[in-house]
Structure 1
Amino acid sequence: MRHRFVLAPGSLLGLLLLLAPAARAQTPLNPAQPWGSWFIGTVQLPGSPEKRWGGFAEVQVRTNALFRQYFYHELKAGLSYDIDKNFTALLGGGRYATSDYRDLSAGPLNVEARLWAQVVLTQYSSRLKLEHRYRAEQRWFSYRDDSTSTRNRLRYRLNAFMPLNAKTIGPKTVFLSVYDEIFLNLRGPVFERNRFYAGVGYQFNKHLTAQAGWIDQANYNLPAFRQGQFIPQNTSAKNNVVLAVSYRLAHRANAARPESLPSQQD
């Protein structure tokens, strides 16, 4: 049985107001950066009550300025298993490359290989849908100067969805999506990154969904002493326009699947 909640009419707005301060907890000390762009394309095979195995494949491209100055891409995929209809586990991996947009011919500045395990818990009310995602990552870096490094990271994301013209998210549904995600690193800085997203989406049919929104991503450095002066922790924040398209496959000869949340894989 799905979880049920009694919600006030302003629940989604209240949740947004609770999450937003985390994305702006510190004032950036570095010069303002230009708006960037994220383009995300995903093919997904969700699990089902009859066939619990699923998976996804995704490509993502980012630009330093709005729709120009390409510098970064991701290629990733994963295998999922529905433990029950509100609890999914996933094992994923990917390749991440960062370049200097001013000299792409020189090759990537660094290439990262990443492996992660995650669990996703979903909660449903009559309108508001909540998704809790917990992820543990292992990361391997190869830099242009032939040096290498490894890092571990923990992530937690709370994602809220609300359909606007229906009670559930399905074909021909307009919906809002808001999430906040924190990134933790035991080697420091412990609070490494905060990512806040707000957007609107439309599910065209049982397969195709598109979203457009805004991401504020803030990276935090470690406090340090330099030349006898204490440099406090500060944040380097960047705003980005996000355009995402997802195509959902279905198992053959499968019964109608319960409501599936259009969450982004990144």
Structure 2
Amino acid sequence: MKLILSLALLISFNLVKSQEHISSFNAITLTYKFHPKFFLYGETQLRGIEEYSYPDYYEIKGGLGYNLTKNHKPFIGIGRYVTYRDQRLNREELRIWLQDVIDFRKGIVKFENRFRAEKSYFYDPKKDAKSERMRYRYRLNVTVPLNSKKVEPGTVFANAFDEMFVVSPNKPTFARNRVYGGMGYQIDKYFGILCGYLWQREFEAKGNRNLHFVYFALNINIDDSGSEKKTYHFPGLD
């Protein structure tokens, strides 16, 4: 826990020193496994973009996943996403997505490949205008338990990923890149926490933009599947 807090303080200090804006990224997730094959997932987020203490973005989303095999998990989801600017409603979004997660292990290291296709429906209240977008995402996520061979109660782990975003019909097509690094702790069979730093690069026709997020998350796992082998789901920053 002290290591996680030290990491967050170090990141904050370096960003202030370099005069970059610090953004906040906070999340609560819930994974409910009600069957050996099926699980429900829900998440809420609150972000402060370029102003840490003032939240100007939130999202609520959820969906249904299926454990096709031990290492293959298709998922369908839906969510509502709302952005504010200058303390006024700027944009509303309804998003539907399909994703496929394929993971494998090399020793104690877990590699997760996530492919996602999203369809978004936007509404701009200022212009009273509607628009649509298709977006495709790929994320390579790596997790390493530090004091055990797998993530279980009492485990401290390191987590890092790189994610790419491609959009249509917007320009430029390659729209975003995310790089994340952080630490997590599985407290018990229900609760886990994550903390880390996310660098996000936005590629726009009018000019590129860098965002620096300090990330905190509480993950809740409930397993009522009756399976003897418990797994602990920590979806990470999304």
User: TM bucket by the smaller chain?
Assistant: 0.7 to 0.9
Cα 1:142–1:186 change in 2 (3 A) is closer
The structure 1 residue matched to 2:200, chosen from 217, 220, 223, is 217
Task: Name the SS for the 1:181 alignment partner.
Answer: strand
TM-score by length of 1: 0.78
What residue is the counterpart of 2:142 in the other structure?
Answer: 160
Runs (5+) with no aligned partner, structure 1: 1-31, 223-230
Whether 1:181 and 2:154 are equivalent positions in the alignment is no
> Separation in 2 of the partners of 1:218 and 1:253?
43
Pairwise CA distance, 1:70: 1.3
C-alpha RMSD over aligned residues = 1.7
> Separation in 2 of the partners of 1:64 and 1:208?
27
In structure 1, give the amino acid aligned to 2:37.
Answer: R
The structure 2 residue matched to 1:72, chosen from 38, 49, 57, is 57
Whether 1:85 and 2:70 are equivalent positions in the alignment is yes
What residue is the counterpart of 1:239 in the other structure?
Answer: 212
The structure 2 residue matched to 1:115, chosen from 96, 120, 143, is 96
Spell out, residue by residue over 1:223-247, the C-alpha distance to the aligned partner (whole angstroms, 9 max, x if none).
xxxxxxxx7xx42011010001100
> Separation in 2 of the partners of 1:146 and 1:261?
40
In structure 1, give the amino acid aligned to 2:119.
Answer: Q
Alignment length (residue pairs): 218
8 A Cα contact 2:117 2:134, kept in partner = yes
The percentage of counterpart residues that share the same residue type is: 30
Cα 1:213–1:64 change in 2 (3 A) is same
The structure 1 residue matched to 2:124, chosen from 140, 143, 149, is 143
> Separation in 2 of the partners of 1:163 and 1:203?
10
What residue is the counterpart of 2:177 in the other structure?
Answer: 194
Runs (5+) with no aligned partner, structure 2: 1-18
TM-score by length of 2: 0.86
Spell out, residue by residue over 1:57-79, the C-alpha distance to the aligned partner (whole angstroms, 9 max, x if none).
11100013454121000000010
Task: Name the SS for the 2:56 alignment partner.
Answer: strand
Deviating beyond 4 angstroms after TM superposition, the runs of 4 or more aligned structure 1 residues are: none
What residue is the counterpart of 2:112 in the other structure?
Answer: 131
In structure 2, give the amino acid aligned to 1:81.
Answer: Y
In structure 2, give the amino acid aligned to 1:250.
Answer: D
Structure number, greater radius of gyration: 1
